[in-house]
C-alpha cells in the first residue's frame, strides 16, 4: 500500500464517520512504514543488481571485443606473412629465370664469337690458297710463253719441261702445305681420341675394381675364427644375412676377408665385426644388435660427410635426400680415387673456370658437386650413373641447367648450356691430374712391360723405353731400314695399338727417334 492509498483510506473513514480504533491506525501506520522501507530496500537492491549486471555485460563486451581484435590482427598477420612468402618465392623464381636467360645469352654470345673466329680463319685460309693458286697460274703462264717463244720443241715436250720446272719451284710450298694438312688432321684425331679415351675411362670407373671389393679384418687370435663361424656355421650365416656381405675365412693367420661390391655394406660389416670382436659375445642375437648399431653409425657418418662436402663448397638449398646420397660417395672409389673428394674437387674447379669466363660460379659449383651422384644410387636402377643422377636431382627440384650438366658430363646427352662443358672439363682435370688415380705396384709394372713389348713388336723398332711413369714411351728405330715417313707411320700405328689393346689413365705420349751417327778416328 502506497502513501496515497493510506491517505485515501483515512479520508474516506472521516467522510463516512467510521470510527477506527487507535491500535488499527497505529498498526496501519507501522505496516505502511515497514512496507515502504522494504519496498525502498528492494528497489535499491534491484538497482545495485542491475548496475552489476550492466558492469559485467560491459566487461564481457570489452573482453569479447579484445578477443575479436586479437583474432583479426592474427589473421591479418598470417595473411601478411603468407603474402610475403609468396612474394619472396616469386622473386626467387624470377631471379632464377633471369639467371637462366643470362646464361643462355652468354652461351649464345660465346658460340657466336667462336663461329666468327672460325669464319675469319677460314676466310684467311681461303684467301691464302687463292693467292698461291693465282701466283702458280701466273708463273705457269709466263713459263709457258717463254718456252714457246725460245724453243722449237713440240707441245708434249713443252708440257713435260713446264711440269718439271713448276714442281721444282713449288716443291717447298707443296711440302709445307702437306705438313700443315697432316698436322691439322693429326690434331683433330688427337682431340677425338682424347674424348673417346676419357669417356672410356669414366665408364670403366663406374665398374667395381678388384682392389676395392674386399676389406681385411685383423683378429686377436686364431680362436676367434671359430667363434665367428659358430656351431654349424650359424654365426657366419647370420652375419652374412644381416650385412649382405661374404665372409671369407681361409688359412691366412689372424685375418678375415669381407667381400662385397657395395662399399657401404662392406663398411657396415667391418664396423659391426670389429665391435663384435672387441665385445667377445658372438651369436645371432648380438650380431643383429651390433649390425643395427653399425648401420646407424654409418648413416650418421654418411649424413655428416654430405654436410661437410656441402659446407666446404658453401652450397645452399640442397634437399636432404641429395645430401644423404652425396655422403655415400665417401665409401666409393674410382681407380683408388675417392669419389666424394673427386666431386668436391670438380665443384671447386668448375667454380674457378666459370669465374674466369664471367659466368655464375654457384651454378657451376653445384653441377660439379652433383655430377657423379648417380654412382651412389642403388645398382638395381638401369642406365648410366650420369642419367640416374640427373633423374634423381630433377626429382628433388634442381634447375634444368644443373640437371643437363649432370646428364651430359659423359656426352650421353647433348649439352644445352656452357655449364655442361665446364663440368666436363673440370671432371676431366680432376680425374687425369698427376696423383689423382693411383694403381697397385704390380699393375703399374705390368702396364709398363706391356707398353714396351707392344712397341718392340713393330717392324724396324730396336729399343723402347717407357718413361714418365708410363705417360710417355720413346721408341728408337733403325735408321738403315726405317725412313722418316715410315717413322711417322710407326708412331701412328703404335698409337692405334695402344688405344685398342691397353688400359691406362690419362694419355700416353709417343716419340719415335730415328738417328744416324757417323764416327771417324784420325791417327
CA 253/CA 223 separation, integer angstroms = 11
User: Which tops the pLDDT comparison, 89 or 212?
Assistant: 89
pLDDT of residue 193: 47
Residues 370 and 447 in one domain: no
pLDDT bucket at 200, cuts 50 / 70 / 90: very low
pLDDT of residue 332: 80
Last residue of a domain, one of 99, 131, 163: 131
In a domain, 164, yes or no: no
Q: What is the DSSP string of 269-322?
A: HHHHHHHHHHH---SHHHHHHHHHHHHHHHHHHHHHHHHHHHHHHT-----HHH
Q: What is the DSSP string of 463-504?
A: EEEEEGGGTEEEEEE-TTT--HHHHHHHHHHHHHHHHHH---
Edge-to-edge order in the sheet of strand 255-259: 214-218, 255-259, 246-248
Residues 92 and 110 in one domain: yes
pLDDT of residue 192: 53
**Mean local confidence (pLDDT), 500-513:** 80
Residues 269 and 367 in one domain: no
Say how many residues make up the chain: 523
Whether the predicted pLDDT of 301 surpasses 80: yes
In a domain, 192, yes or no: no
Q: What is the DSSP string of 322-381?
A: HHHHHHHGGG-EETTEEHHHHHHHHHHHHHHHHHHTTS-HHHHHHHHHHTTGGGGS-TTS
What is the dihedral sign for C-alpha 48, 52, 53, 55? positive
pLDDT of residue 16: 46
pLDDT of residue 444: 67
- Per DSSP, what are the bridge partners of residue 509? 472
pLDDT of residue 43: 85
With residue 26 as reference, give the H or E element that holds it: helix 22-150
Whether the predicted pLDDT of 122 surpasses 60: yes
In a domain, 120, yes or no: yes
Residues 418 and 449 in one domain: no
CA-closest candidate to residue 1, choices 26, 53, 51, 38? 38
Last residue of a domain, one of 432, 451, 470: 432
Which of 206-215, 273-282, 329-338 has the least mean pLDDT?
Answer: 206-215
Residues 20 and 86 in one domain: yes
With residue 510 as reference, give the H or E element that holds it: strand 509-514
User: Which tops the pLDDT comparison, 87 or 28?
Assistant: 87
Arithmetic mean of pLDDT over the chain: 79
Residues 420 and 447 in one domain: no
Q: What is the DSSP string of 251-267?
A: SSTTEEEEE-S-HHHHH
Q: At what angle do helices 339-356 and 418-432 cross, to 10 degrees?
A: 130
pLDDT in tens, 42-72: 888 888 888 888 888 888 888 888 889 888 8
Burial class (CB in 10 A: 0-12, 13-18, 19+), 100: middle
Residues 427 and 451 in one domain: no
In a domain, 488, yes or no: yes
Query: Residue 326 in contact with residue 373, Cβ under 8 Å?
Result: yes
Whether the predicted pLDDT of 143 surpasses 70: no
Task: Work out how many domains the chain is built from and give that number.
Answer: 4
Tell me the residue range of the domain where 279 lies.
210-304
Query: Residue 239 in contact with residue 287, Cβ under 8 Å?
Result: yes
What lies within 8 Å, CB to CB, of 293 at 6+ separation is: 272, 275
- Angstrom distances, CA of residue 362 to CA of 70, 73, 311, 315, 389: 45, 41, 13, 8, 19
Whether the predicted pLDDT of 152 surpasses 70: no
Query: Residue 346 in contact with residue 368, Cβ under 8 Å?
Result: yes
Residues 25 and 125 in one domain: yes
Residues 417 and 347 in one domain: yes
CA 244/CA 265 separation, integer angstroms = 7
In a domain, 224, yes or no: yes
Query: Residue 442 in contact with residue 479, Cβ under 8 Å?
Result: no
What is the grid cell recorded at 426? Answer: 673440370
User: How many C-alpha atoms does 508 have within 13 Å on its Cβ side?
Assistant: 29
Q: At what angle do helices 320-328 and 284-313 cross, to 10 degrees?
A: 110
Question: Which CATH number goes with the domain that contains 375?
Answer: 1.10.3210.10
In a domain, 66, yes or no: yes
In a domain, 141, yes or no: no
Q: At what angle do helices 361-370 and 320-328 cross, to 10 degrees?
A: 50
CA-closest candidate to residue 423, choices 434, 435, 437, 413? 413
Q: Work out the percent of the chain whose per-residue pLDDT is above 70.
A: 79
In a domain, 15, yes or no: yes
**Mean local confidence (pLDDT), 368-381:** 78
CA 88/CA 101 separation, integer angstroms = 20
Which of 203-207, 362-366, 409-413 has the least mean pLDDT?
Answer: 203-207
What is the grid cell recorded at 309? Answer: 662436402
User: Which tops the pLDDT comparison, 17 or 52?
Assistant: 52
pTM of the model: 0.46
Last residue of a domain, one of 116, 131, 146: 131
User: Which tops the pLDDT comparison, 381 or 192?
Assistant: 381
Whether the predicted pLDDT of 2 surpasses 60: no
Question: Which CATH number goes with the domain that contains 266?
Answer: 3.30.1370.10
Q: Which contacts (CB < 8 Å, 24+ apart) does range 320-323 have?
A: 321/396, 322/370, 322/373, 322/392, 322/393, 322/396, 322/398
pLDDT of residue 204: 32
Please calculate the CA angle 386-264-389 and round it to the nearest 5 degrees: 15
Is residue 221 helix, strand or coil?
coil
CA 243/CA 241 separation, integer angstroms = 6
What lies within 8 Å, CB to CB, of 446 at 6+ separation is: none
pLDDT of residue 283: 81
With residue 281 as reference, give the H or E element that holds it: none
CB atoms within 10 A of CB 213: 14
Whether the predicted pLDDT of 78 surpasses 50: yes
pLDDT of residue 197: 38
Which of 120-124, 178-182, 355-359 has the least mean pLDDT?
Answer: 178-182
pLDDT in tens, 82-111: 998 889 888 888 888 888 898 888 888 888
User: Which tops the pLDDT comparison, 493 or 385?
Assistant: 493
Residues 17 and 89 in one domain: yes
Whether the predicted pLDDT of 382 surpasses 70: no
**Mean local confidence (pLDDT), 437-453:** 72
CA 413/CA 406 separation, integer angstroms = 10
CA 259/CA 22 separation, integer angstroms = 129
Whether the predicted pLDDT of 140 surpasses 60: yes
Q: What is the DSSP string of 385-407?
A: HHHHHHHHHHHTT--HHHHHHHH
Residues 446 and 419 in one domain: no
pLDDT of residue 379: 58
Question: Which CATH number goes with the domain that contains 473?
Answer: 3.30.70.1350
Query: What is the separation of C-alpha 458 from the centre of its chain, rounded to a whole number of angstroms?
Result: 44
pLDDT bucket at 168, cuts 50 / 70 / 90: low
Residues 393 and 493 in one domain: no
Whether the predicted pLDDT of 160 surpasses 60: yes
Amino acid at each position: 500500500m502506497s502513501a496515497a492509498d493510506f491517505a485515501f483510506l483515512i479520508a474516506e473513514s472521516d467522510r463516512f464517520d467510521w470510527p477506527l480504533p487507535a491500535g488499527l491506525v497505529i498498526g496501519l501506520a507501522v505496516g505502511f512504514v515497514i512496507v515502504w522501507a522494504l519496498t525502498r530496500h528492494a528497489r535499491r537492491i534491484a538497482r545495485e543488481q542491475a548496475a552489476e549486471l550492466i558492469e559485467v555485460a560491459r566487461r564481457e563486451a570489452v573482453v569479447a571485443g579484445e578477443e575479436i581484435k586479437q583474432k583479426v590482427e592474427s589473421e591479418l598477420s598470417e595473411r601478411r606473412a603468407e603474402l610475403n612468402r609468396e612474394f619472396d618465392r616469386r622473386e626467387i623464381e624470377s631471379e632464377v629465370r633471369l639467371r637462366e636467360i643470362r646464361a643462355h645469352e652468354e652461351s649464345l654470345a660465346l658460340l657466336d664469337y667462336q663461329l666468327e673466329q672460325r669464319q675469319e680463319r677460314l676466310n684467311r685460309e681461303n684467301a691464302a690458297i687463292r693467292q698461291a693458286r693465282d701466283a702458280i697460274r701466273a708463273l705457269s703462264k709466263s713459263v709457258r710463253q717463254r718456252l714457246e717463244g725460245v724453243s722449237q720443241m713440240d707441245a708434249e715436250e713443252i708440257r713435260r719441261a713446264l711440269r718439271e720446272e713448276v714442281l721444282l719451284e713449288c716443291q717447298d710450298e707443296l711440302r709445307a702445305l702437306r705438313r700443315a694438312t697432316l698436322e691439322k688432321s693429326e690434331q683433330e684425331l688427337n682431340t677425338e681420341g682424347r674424348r673417346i679415351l676419357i669417356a672410356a675411362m669414366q665408364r670403366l670407373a663406374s665398374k667395381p675394381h678388384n682392389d676395392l671389393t674386399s676389406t681385411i679384418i685383423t683378429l686377436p687370435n686364431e680362436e676367434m675364427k671359430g667363434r665367428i663361424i659358430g656351431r654349424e656355421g650359424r654365426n657366419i650365416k647370420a652375419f652374412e644375412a644381416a650385412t649382405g656381405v661374404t665372409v671369407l675365412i681361409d688359412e691366412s693367420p689372424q685375418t678375415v676377408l669381407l667381400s662385397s661390391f657395395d662399399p657401404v655394406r662392406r663398411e657396415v660389416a667391418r664396423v659391426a665385426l670389429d665391435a663384435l670382436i672387441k665385445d667377445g659375445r658372438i651369436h645371432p642375437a648380438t650380431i643383429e644388435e651390433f649390425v643395427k648399431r653399425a648401420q646407424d653409425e654409418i648413416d650418421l657418418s654418411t649424413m655428416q660427410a654430405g654436410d661437410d662436402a656441402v659446407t666446404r663448397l658453401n652450397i645452399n638449398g640442397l634437399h636432404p635426400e641429395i645430401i644423404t646420397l652425396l655422403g655415400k660417395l665417401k665409401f666409393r672409389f674410382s681407380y683408388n680415387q675417392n669419389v666424394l673428394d673427386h666431386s668436391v674437387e670438380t665443384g671447386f674447379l668448375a667454380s674457378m673456370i666459370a669465374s674466369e669466363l664471367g659466368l655464375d660460379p654457384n651454378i657451376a659449383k653445384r653441377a660439379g658437386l652433383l655430377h657423379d651422384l648417380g654412382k651412389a644410387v642403388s645398382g638395381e636402377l638401369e642406365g648410366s650413373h650420369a642419367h640416374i643422377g640427373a633423374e634423381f636431382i630433377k626429382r628433388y627440384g634442381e634447375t634444368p641447367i644443373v640437371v643437363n650438366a649432370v646428364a651430359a658430363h659423359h656426352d650421353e646427352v647433348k649439352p644445352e648450356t656452357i655449364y655442361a662443358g665446364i663440368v666436363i672439363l673440370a671432371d676431366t682435370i680432376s680425374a687425369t691430374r698427376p696423383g689423382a688415380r693411383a694403381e697397385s705396384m704390380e699393375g703399374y709394372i705390368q702396364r709398363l712391360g706391356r707398353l714396351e713389348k707392344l712397341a718392340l713388336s713393330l717392324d724396324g723398332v730396336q729399343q723402347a723405353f717407357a718413361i714418365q711413369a708410363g705417360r710417355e714411351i720413346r721408341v728408337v728405330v733403325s735408321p738403315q731400314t726405317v725412313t722418316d715417313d715410315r717413322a711417322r707411320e710407326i708412331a701412328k700405328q703404335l698409337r692405334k695399338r695402344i688405344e685398342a689393346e691397353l688400359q691406362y689413365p690419362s694419355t700416353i705420349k709417343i716419340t719415335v727417334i730415328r738417328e744416324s751417327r757417323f764416327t771417324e778416328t784420325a791417327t
